[in-house]
Structure 1
């Protein structure tokens, strides 16, 4: 005769077998998972081998990134530096504010003449810093908390070396790439600077030197003050030059340089003190300048609406009060398709604020970021230097 315990065990086994037989088509599972935030998807990797295989598939990564961009599922990437300890912190935060999330700490970073820059594409952020002698570049996925340190591209020779890294995405190959331009200037009369161009591919994690004609007579001044910030649009990396009537463009598909003309009205009258810079707005290339903004409280964003025909359209952003009241805020990046990040300011020991402007509504807002969970960020010496908006992504590193 079957005991009560045996009967209950049989019932449980039957139920388990019935649940095991219940399954959804892979298309439905993919449809559901692609709409979830990255944090939830990472947990679902451990459900089963089929789910892990599905989530790790490049086609799923692309689908998830596309839907995250359409649904404006964006967040903020932030870099902070403590010169007293020589530590640099990578942080992230929700788009609407709240507590900061600590991603990684870099130790023994240079402090003298430290220059930083960051660029984001499809959920990945390229962050580079250096002092002219030590230069480092990292690719970060803030959503998965993964960080890749790029190997040094070459052995630099003697002389003054200027090194810059620029982030790009080759749409023809669906591949992230890093463009490295190195110029070595020798302190010898009549000796021309040596220019090296290299490309790092995130598909094979290696540098490749290319022989390409550089369309400029690059001087030390022109290089140091011009080629520091870039914007990638339609597989083309654009760099602002000291000659502010034109941009240097590098096409990742053809691996060739070209010159893009800027609308003459976008160039400020007082070039030395009002240097414009590049920004991406709604997926388009933009040039921003604050020419005489102190008197009229307006900042102009010139957007290249028609790339092929060189048609620039001006958008005007008007501050409700004097520009100086906002700490002389200047557009830094686009948080999503509609919003522009203006500034990052530490209001108190435990709070940092981000000023944003909505292009659609024409309104400003202040987003509060709290530092309470990370006492090392509350120190007086800590400097918040970079802030970028990024779209959630499963892109692996």
Structure 2
């Protein structure tokens, strides 16, 4: 029995299990093995593909992390093995922009790099972080902002209320633009009850902050970059068991591509 991966259609709330998949690692490498999946979309071919990666805690003879990758084209029923790329376990989720899935991960020197996987050619490549972005910052995330690949550095947000944002405005020529974000002090009103928080982007022009929420109330904070305004967005319909004690809503970067196809048709 292999690892199961599920697709969820946000519009219809359908959930579909993909065929199980598993890497051909030797048995001794299975201990501590982790896996993650990412959905990619190519705007020219209009094809959706799911990439699944397994990462072992072990290193090969060259001191590199041992990984395995498979891919499934939606509409088919089988996984195909693809060549591994320079990818460790990602620091956060994935962002699909311009037909490529992007991850923030670590190189062999534990420096952060961006790895891109082309959905059509099924090849990996690396992108350097923008100038000025420290490559060893712990709190850093990739998001989609205004249709552009964006790096958020929120290492000092709690102390200084500032968050440098680097936007890849010219993807082809790798032109990054730095945009400082300064949040109002009110965003930290409930942070005293939190050990950590998460950042993401869901709607164009807005950054989502998810602090550890209080018992009985689940909400996000949405910051509008253009207007400089902050608003609370409550979440309803969660099971009562989640409301008995504070919980953390983990926001991975969301690359949502709307499709009118039902999951049963893909």
Q: Does 1:336 find its partner at 2:203?
A: yes
Counterpart position of 2:115: 248
Given that residues 221 and 231 in structure 2 are in contact (C-alpha distance below 8 angstroms), is that contact kept between their aligned partners in structure 1? yes
Q: Take 1:284 and 1:277, find their aligned partners in 2: how far apart are those partners?
A: 14
**Larger radius of gyration, structure 1 or 2?**
1
Bigger Cα displacement from structure 2, 154-163 vs 229-238: 154-163
Counterpart position of 2:67: 195
Of 378, 385, 389, 2:243 maps to 378
Q: Does 1:368 find its partner at 2:227?
A: no
| Number of matched pairs | 252
SS in structure 2 of the partner of residue 164 of structure 1? strand
Of 255, 270, 277, 2:141 maps to 277
Structure 1 unaligned blocks of 5 or more:
1-133
Counterpart position of 2:166: 302
Counterpart position of 2:38: 166
Counterpart position of 1:45: none
Given that residues 279 and 334 in structure 1 are in contact (C-alpha distance below 8 angstroms), is that contact kept between their aligned partners in structure 2? yes
After superposition, the C-alpha distances for 1:77-123 in whole angstroms (9 at most, x for unaligned) are xxxxxxxxxxxxxxxxxxxxxxxxxxxxxxxxxxxxxxxxxxxxxxx
Given that residues 215 and 244 in structure 2 are in contact (C-alpha distance below 8 angstroms), is that contact kept between their aligned partners in structure 1? no
Q: Take 1:284 and 1:362, find their aligned partners in 2: how far apart are those partners?
A: 19
Q: Take 2:119 and 2:257, find their aligned partners in 1: how far apart are those partners?
A: 22
CA-CA distance at 1:191 after TM superposition: 9.3
Given that residues 213 and 247 in structure 2 are in contact (C-alpha distance below 8 angstroms), is that contact kept between their aligned partners in structure 1? no
Q: Take 1:208 and 1:369, find their aligned partners in 2: how far apart are those partners?
A: 38
Closer/same/farther in 2, CA of residues 395 and 344 from structure 1, 3 Å limit: farther
After superposition, the C-alpha distances for 1:62-83 in whole angstroms (9 at most, x for unaligned) are xxxxxxxxxxxxxxxxxxxxxx
Given that residues 198 and 207 in structure 1 are in contact (C-alpha distance below 8 angstroms), is that contact kept between their aligned partners in structure 2? yes
Q: Take 2:207 and 2:160, find their aligned partners in 1: how far apart are those partners?
A: 20
Counterpart position of 2:16: 148
Higher RCO structure (Cα 8 Å, ≥6 apart): 1
Q: Take 1:248 and 1:322, find their aligned partners in 2: how far apart are those partners?
A: 35
Given that residues 294 and 323 in structure 1 are in contact (C-alpha distance below 8 angstroms), is that contact kept between their aligned partners in structure 2? no
After superposition, the C-alpha distances for 1:211-267 in whole angstroms (9 at most, x for unaligned) are x363x3x6xxxx34x455211111111111224453111111111111111112122
